[in-house]
Structure 1
């Protein structure tokens, strides 16, 4: 048995259905005008089920499970590298370890986030959590807090700029956008 019929497979399918229905409703009616009750109804589940999978409405857009992987990849880089170089190498390593996400779904999520001012705080909190994970990884490797924070903020700002530009086009993959940002950070290549 592959486990897809078990609770975790069912839970993952429900989570995915909720996310897909949310994207469709957000695109059709706007993020702010769409309620969690509408999303749950479209997915054929209760609103309580929605909140079991996503603690808040913004998590349907701003969910990022990659922080531990990123922190581990940054921590695994040689301590002799400068902080920004460690982050870039760590991000490259983390990205290489992940399967390529479904491009159109990620593009849709980023577009909605970019076009919805009420999501700015959730996006900032999400980025700050990633930044904190990177800073902790660097600090554990002997980097002082201020240089670690500056390097992490610079790297994440570059990634965010690349993702926002990528989301507004229909060209390239998410991997292309990430690689482009990392190339610029890694010596100014473009």
Structure 2
């Protein structure tokens, strides 16, 4: 594409994914995750079940799709290389939270932030999704370590990076749970910074 942005086909694919996921989250919230089938989602979306599966290989993906691994990894890589590891990771997470939540709190939460809220509520309240969320958190941890150390890291450096990244993501998870429980009213970046400060000390704003 030579830096010209996503193609028309890619934009249409992304639009279909957002539309199907939006209908799925609405049905899950109304009828429950377990009681809603992929066929129900397809019917509400006006597409075939095959189309749903083409975009979301499993039912869980209807909730979990839209992770921020690449965004977090890119922001970690962009931070100053001489910055302490915990600050480098922590501030990248705060910046990502700012993007994910949108333009404010409460009524000011963006459509993207509202979508994240819906996904978080389901992940918190549905056992099957909680298990898959742990898998996705491990993938994010791996992406952070890769951004810091490259493809063939020194074992000791990898150990330290994994320890810090895992602890930072656990702190962020605590912030996300509170944000979801309070319907997006608190400032999400502020909550993430506060959780990181509680875990590690210092200022992450």
* TM-score class, shorter: 0.7 to 0.9
3-state secondary structure, aligned to 1:144? helix
CA contact (8 A) 1:70 1:90 kept: yes
TM-score for the superposition, normalised by structure 1: 0.84
CA contact (8 A) 1:77 1:86 kept: yes
Q: 2:10 and 2:194 mapped to 1: Cα distance?
A: 38
Query: What 5-or-longer segments of structure 2 have no aligned partner?
Result: 103-109
CA contact (8 A) 2:176 2:188 kept: yes
What is the correspondence of 1:3-18 to structure 2 with a 5 Å cutoff? Answer: 6-18=8-20
RMSD: 2.7
Give the Å deviation of 1:183: 3.8
Q: Deviations over 1:93-138 (max 9, x none)?
A: 4456668252322211111110001112211111111110011122
**What residue in structure 2 maps to residue 166 of structure 1?**
179
Matched, 1:84 2:95: no
How many residues are treated as equivalent by the alignment?
185
**What residue in structure 2 maps to residue 51 of structure 1?**
53
Give the Å deviation of 1:50: 0.5
Runs of 4+ with >3 A deviation = 6-10, 92-99, 140-143, 186-190
CA contact (8 A) 1:107 1:167 kept: yes
TM-score for the superposition, normalised by structure 2: 0.78
Q: Deviations over 1:64-100 (max 9, x none)?
A: 3421221121122223222111101223444566682
